[in-house]
Each structure stands twice: as structure tokens, then as C-alpha cells.
Amino acid sequence: MPNIYARPISPPAFKPQVIRLEILNEMRKVGREVLEDYARTVETWKDKPKFETQLSLTNANGPVLFAGLKDDGSEGAKHFVMVNEGTPPHEIFAGAYTGQSEKKALSFPGTFTAKTVPGVLQSGSGGEGGAQVATPYVQHPGIKARKFDEAIQFKWTSQFSVRMQEALYRGAQKTGHA
């Protein structure tokens, strides 16, 4: 009777740390690109806010990238919140009428062009000009919400998923499991 020899057939060792590292590296790259989008929205601002990212692989549904304003209380951060979320119409009074200063009139240029546009991930030069206006109060029309955060989330939601799948595949290739 002939002898039959069998050798086990087994795939290469699975190395989850290699796949995890590939995913984390791609998350960092995406995070930098998201921060670049946020930076473009305030590129021409004098008081620029800071933005930050946080990465997580602990979510049961997969990798998560948190990105947005670093709320450090700076003037730039406060300005970003007002521009991003908008403000309702409101009255502004000179300091003498609010007890905040001795000034009895507000003074400002008669025309104003915003540096940003709702939903557009960039900022322009904007500007102000025209004859100077002086008045004890003004009815401010409010700020139309730019919704930069929503535009960035919309742009990156599907791209993030694709990039994570590509990173997973690269990691699997590196471990011999592609």
C-alpha cells in the first residue's frame, strides 16, 4: 500500500498591527488634507483660528476622524463660529449707550464685501469702502451661515470611506492576505 504524505496548507501569519498601522497612517494623511480645507476657509483672515483632528480606531463601526475648530477662546475661534454658524439680525449700539465706553457713535465704511461665501471652502480678499458712516446704533443684518463644517464633512464622507478601504487592502497586501 502506498504512503500518502500531506503537508498542511496555511496562509502567512495574520499581522493585525501591520493593517492597523496602514489605516492609522492613511487617517493621518486624510486628517492633514481636511485641515488644509479648513485653513483655506480662513486663509485671508487677520485673526486665524486653529483647527485640530483626533483619530479613533476604537469605534465598533470602524475608523473615525474628528476634525474641526480648536475652541481655544481666541478671537479667531469666536469669529469662525459666528461666520460658520451665522448670526441673527441684531442692533449694535455705541459704547456710551451700553456703558462699555465713552464713544457716542459707531464709525465704519459705508460698503462691505465679505471674504467668504456659504458652502465655499476658500476665502477671498473681501473689503470695505465708500463714505464713512457715523451713527449711534446700527441694525446689523446678521451673518449668513457659511457652514464650512458641513461642506467639509460632505466632501470627505465618501472619500474617507474609500481611503480607509484602500489602506485596508494595502495592509492586507503587506501581510500576504490580499
pLDDT tens for residues 12-57? Answer: 787 889 999 999 999 999 999 999 999 999 999 999 999 999 999 9
| Phi and psi, residue 3, nearest 5° | -90, 135
61 domain residue, yes or no: yes
Q: Please, which pLDDT band fits residue 1 given cuts at 50, 70 and 90?
A: low
* Pairwise CA distance, residues 137 & 95, whole Å: 10
CB 134 within 8 A of CB 105: yes
Per the structure, the complete domain to which residue 65 belongs is given by 16-174
pLDDT of 13 reads 80
Beta-bridge mates of residue 52: 68
Number of domains in the chain: 1
1 domain residue, yes or no: no
C-alpha 15, offset from chain centre: 33
99 domain residue, yes or no: yes
104 domain residue, yes or no: yes
Q: Please, which pLDDT band fits residue 5 given cuts at 50, 70 and 90?
A: confident
pLDDT of 21 reads 95
Top-confidence residue, 8 or 117: 117
11 domain residue, yes or no: no
29 domain residue, yes or no: yes
| Phi and psi, residue 133, nearest 5° | -110, 135
CB 47 within 8 A of CB 54: no
The three cell numbers of residue 160 are 474617507
Q: Is 90 exceeded by the pLDDT of residue 9?
A: no
CB 81 within 8 A of CB 148: no
